[in-house]
Amino acid sequence: MKILLLVGLCISTALCQFQLTRQSYTTFPSTSGGTPSLFSNAAHQASYDPQERILYVLGAQLAINRPRLLHIVDMFNPAAPSILLTHSIDPSLYGRANDVQVCGDTVAVSLDSPVPTKEGYVIMFTTFRRGNTQLVSVGVEPVGVDPKGMAFTTDCQKLIIANEGRGGLDESFIDPPGSVSILLRNDLGSPAHVNINFQSFLENREAAYQAQGVRWVYRGDHTAGIVNNMWDDLEPDQVTISMDQRFAYVSLP
């Protein structure tokens, strides 16, 4: 008991040496020029540009008549942040907005298709600077179904996207395969695009992966001749890149 008490006191002391203090509190509207409201998904993801001291805050509005909003926030004074611009993304062209990432001079936003079981998109913008009047898009790239988390390599030359591939309705139930997309930067044209699914890793190895704890939840309706493979069932969600930039780690919740 004395040993446990001593350890507990040490942990308590160590934790007290680092504390966070709130500098400010900012609310965001869920519509252009609107007022903030509860349960509106107005601030879903955020990414910080340390060069310009600007924070990009992405809303995840789902209503088909509401634009997807990207708020650009001046963080030069963290105690008094201000919204420099709110950029609207056409809801007739895109579904749910999922993630935003900034690297160098590029801002990337991942969005679903309006039909959730179809391939999604990543919109690329040039970074915003104070004095600009708009956020400029430099391209739209199709990726896998339901693109979620993204991560840039430190040199900003590669963008890794986890495509969740969630099941949904498109006349009938469809469970698209989860995948990972890699966009390679190309300043002279569209970026090179590589899409990787999990079939080559899992095919004929399902039992071995299940024995290691990998879940295979939905296997289809065999009475109706519907087969859902293990690689269709996996849903990549978030991605991070190793310090040496050699590996991308993808979570499969």
Encoded tokens for 51: 């060069």
Range of the domain at 152: 24-198+235-246
Asked if the structure places residue 94 within a domain, the reply is yes
pLDDT at 216: 87
- What is the SS3 assignment for 13? helix
Q: What's the sign of the alpha-carbon dihedral 106, 152, 139, 236?
A: negative
- Closest by alpha carbon to 120, among 90, 95, 145? 145
Query: Any idea what the Cα angle at residue 58 is, between residues 54 and 64, rounded to 5°?
Result: 150
Asked if the structure places residue 34 within a domain, the reply is yes
CATH at residue 158: 2.130.10.10
Total domain count for the chain?
A: 1
Asked if the structure places residue 92 within a domain, the reply is yes
pLDDT at 14: 54
Give burial (CB, 10 Å; 0-12/13-18/19+) of 12.
Answer: exposed
Asked if the structure places residue 167 within a domain, the reply is yes
Question: What backbone phi and psi angles, to 5 degrees, belong to 13?
Answer: -65, -40
pLDDT at 9: 44
Asked if the structure places residue 224 within a domain, the reply is no
Cα–Cα distance between 196 and 178 in angstroms, integer?
9
Q: What share of the chain is helix, strand, coil (3-state, %, to 5)?
A: 15, 40, 50
* 27, 37, 47, 87, 168 from 133: Cα distances, Å: 22, 26, 20, 10, 39
pLDDT at 122: 97
Asked if the structure places residue 6 within a domain, the reply is no
Question: What backbone phi and psi angles, to 5 degrees, belong to 246?
Answer: -90, -25
pLDDT at 64: 62
pLDDT at 21: 87
pLDDT at 127: 98
Encoded tokens for 140: 């739209």
pLDDT one digit per residue (tens) for the chain, 253 residues: 444 444 444 455 455 677 888 899 888 887 777 777 776 778 899 999 999 999 999 987 766 667 789 999 999 999 999 999 999 998 889 988 999 999 999 999 999 998 888 999 999 999 999 999 999 999 999 999 999 999 999 999 999 999 999 887 666 778 889 999 999 988 767 778 899 988 888 889 999 989 998 888 888 877 777 788 888 888 999 999 999 999 999 998 7
Asked if the structure places residue 5 within a domain, the reply is no
pLDDT at 63: 62
| Whole-structure pTM value | 0.86
pLDDT at 167: 80
Asked if the structure places residue 213 within a domain, the reply is no
